[in-house]
Amino acid sequence: ILNVEQSPQSLHVQEGDSTNFTCSFPSSNFYALHWYRWETAKSPEALFVMTLNGDEKKKGRISATLNTKEGYSYLYIKGSQPEDSATYLCAPSSASKIIFGSGTRLSIRP
C-alpha cells in the first residue's frame, strides 16, 4: 500500500446538509480500512474499521462503505452538525503497515 488519496482536501458544508468524501487506495495487499475523526487540538478518534468488500458501517449520522476491488471507501455524514467539524482520515492497512491519508477537513457553517 503506497498511495492513499482523500478528496476533497477541504469541505465547507451548511449545518443540516449531508455530505460525503472519498478515500482511494491501491487494492493490492489490502487487509483493512480505518476511518478516524481528528478534531483540532485533540487526538485521532477511531470511527470504523472495515475489512470486507461491500462492508457498510454506521455510527449515528456517520456511515461508511468499502469497495476493496476498486480500492475506495466513502464516508457519509447525514444532517451535518457543528460538532462534525474535524479532519477525517482514512488509513488502509496491510499485514505490515498502515498508511494514513492526508485527510478531508470538514467545516460546518451554522
Contact residues toward another protein (CB under 8 A) are: 31-32, 34, 42-46, 49, 51, 89, 91, 93-103
19/92 with CB nearer another protein? 92
User: From the CB of 90, what's the least distance to another protein, in Å?
Assistant: 11
17/39 with CB nearer another protein? 39
User: From the CB of 93, what's the least distance to another protein, in Å?
Assistant: 5
41/110 with CB nearer another protein? 41
73/80 with CB nearer another protein? 73
CB-count exposure of residue 11 (10 Å: 0-12, 13-18, 19+):
middle
Grid cell, residue 25, equals: 487506495
User: From the CB of 10, what's the least distance to another protein, in Å?
Assistant: 14
User: From the CB of 17, what's the least distance to another protein, in Å?
Assistant: 27
> Taking a C-beta distance cutoff of 8 angstroms, is the pair 35, 75 a contact?
yes
Please name the residues in contact with 41: beta carbons below 8 A apart, sequence gap of 6 or more.
none
Grid cell, residue 81, equals: 452538525
Cα–Cα distance for residue pair 100/90, rounded to 1 Å? 6
